[in-house]
Structure 1
């Protein structure tokens, strides 16, 4: 290509124009390795041992963290390129719609109501509402909870489900966090804690609780955990589904289950099929 001769003034103007464009960030492309952002933001829980937990030293652990890390690598990001973002239950849909995170892996049960606002990859885990008991508890059936103290967090539907379906005379104790419920179970202040079995197993697997608790295995509900992505982002959705299928086929999924829930003798369901929701 031939360039016409330009004056010194014109040359100076051209250089300044190019410099301004470069400083302005171009077209906003942020592909990893192309001079743009080399990070990916992923939403998780910070307060669920065995699933999504921020450790005292600042690191992160749990099954959701392991799944998200595997998926991120399949999307082209190493572990040190992940920026973990705390996404509490009430803010998950907003975090995706605002673009605060690329995807969310945070005990995010797939429901028809939520599917109106976000898209879900997966499911990647089938959990069930259950009870956590002391290892020497004589509670064997849900009806044995009648007259006993049952703990769940304030506002949760788990305890109400137990009272409505199997133990109407259970004495409900509502605490601010599941950590408080677990401490109450350990001290004897309550007789049982109820929420998803995966969450209960995560707590029971912690070093300070090993051997102290057991799951009742009641399977009171089906909770299909999915990975939330922004509504309409089919490209990311398809890539995540491919990553989840690979994680199952190469054994990494089974290893993550064992690493995070094994000490609680969690009888997990097999890895669910992508797109198959268990009602």
Structure 2
């Protein structure tokens, strides 16, 4: 037997095995977390948005997205004790789904065409709008154009503030801080005049016990933000989650979650959106 030919055959066989194992590993990595045998389900949420998704100091989780996700998980056959909560920062959400780090994500996740190329969306389950939060006694900001010459705050890199600056009030004095809580402190102290992002997020901050009565929403509908539940591309979870969301709306649980998480801020929420219909 030709030794060189034998060596080549062995190398080819070893390479095939390595490639097969690698492919298997990739396939396993793409399987969502609830396909394991332990009966648990992993859900991505925000950890730092009061009223939406918040990890509290005692290690519990609160917010509208948390309530929606818990309801959906129940309809999928999982008790609250089965849920593993995982932080889903905005920049990480598509990658988390593509890697199979989570089964689904409910994290103030606006549906748009660019994201829909990478992941699938169930919902929408909430129609939010970009708005502003101002001090409750401020009578100088009654319409979007009143933001001209005002100190407007949002987080660094936010598209919300740029949207106002470029399209609504070009003379607004844009202040960019590291986080919304910093903007809120500035608003409370009079250092800034208005904070802008989704009205649902603003309502969550304003509804905190320490801020009740201090702030109000402007009531401006500066954009449409259709919150969806992100799943892996091609996952059968999309249809199952849509069925769960339809039931949540029908049995009154959706409205109860809205009232619980946003009510203290006087948030005038839109009616429950029709599942599967994105409002442009």
TM normalised by structure 2 equals 0.87
For 1:160 and 1:99, the matched residues in 2 are separated by: 33
1:36 to partner: Cα distance: 2.1
Gapped regions of structure 2 (runs ≥ 5)? 1-27
Q: Secondary structure at the match of 2:227?
A: strand
For 1:155 and 1:141, the matched residues in 2 are separated by: 24
Query: Paired residue for 1:115?
Result: 116
Label 1:35 to 1:269 Cα distance change in 2 as closer, same or farther (>3 A). closer
Q: What are the equivalent positions in structure 2 for 1:202-241 lying under 5 Å apart?
A: 202-233=204-235, 235-241=236-242
For 1:101 and 1:198, the matched residues in 2 are separated by: 24
Label 1:185 to 1:77 Cα distance change in 2 as closer, same or farther (>3 A). same
Q: Secondary structure at the match of 2:213?
A: coil
Label 1:260 to 1:35 Cα distance change in 2 as closer, same or farther (>3 A). closer
Contact 1:30 1:37 in 2 (8 A): no
Query: Paired residue for 1:200?
Result: 202
Contact 1:39 1:81 in 2 (8 A): yes
Contact 1:150 1:170 in 2 (8 A): yes
1:144 to partner: Cα distance: 1.3
Q: Secondary structure at the match of 1:83?
A: strand
Label 1:243 to 1:128 Cα distance change in 2 as closer, same or farther (>3 A). same
Gapped regions of structure 1 (runs ≥ 5)? 1-27
Q: What are the equivalent positions in structure 2 for 1:129-278 lying under 5 Å apart?
A: 129-138=130-139, 139-233=141-235, 235-278=236-279
Q: Which runs of 4+ in 1 moved over 6 A?
A: 28-32
What's the RMSD between the two structures over aligned residues? 1.7
For 1:257 and 1:119, the matched residues in 2 are separated by: 24
Q: Secondary structure at the match of 2:219?
A: coil
Label 1:49 to 1:35 Cα distance change in 2 as closer, same or farther (>3 A). closer
1:30 to partner: Cα distance: 10
Which one has the bigger helix percentage? 2
Contact 1:31 1:37 in 2 (8 A): no
Query: Paired residue for 1:104?
Result: 105
Label 1:35 to 1:52 Cα distance change in 2 as closer, same or farther (>3 A). closer
TM normalised by structure 1 equals 0.87
Query: Paired residue for 2:14?
Result: none
Query: Paired residue for 1:62?
Result: 63
For 1:223 and 1:148, the matched residues in 2 are separated by: 24
Label 1:173 to 1:107 Cα distance change in 2 as closer, same or farther (>3 A). same
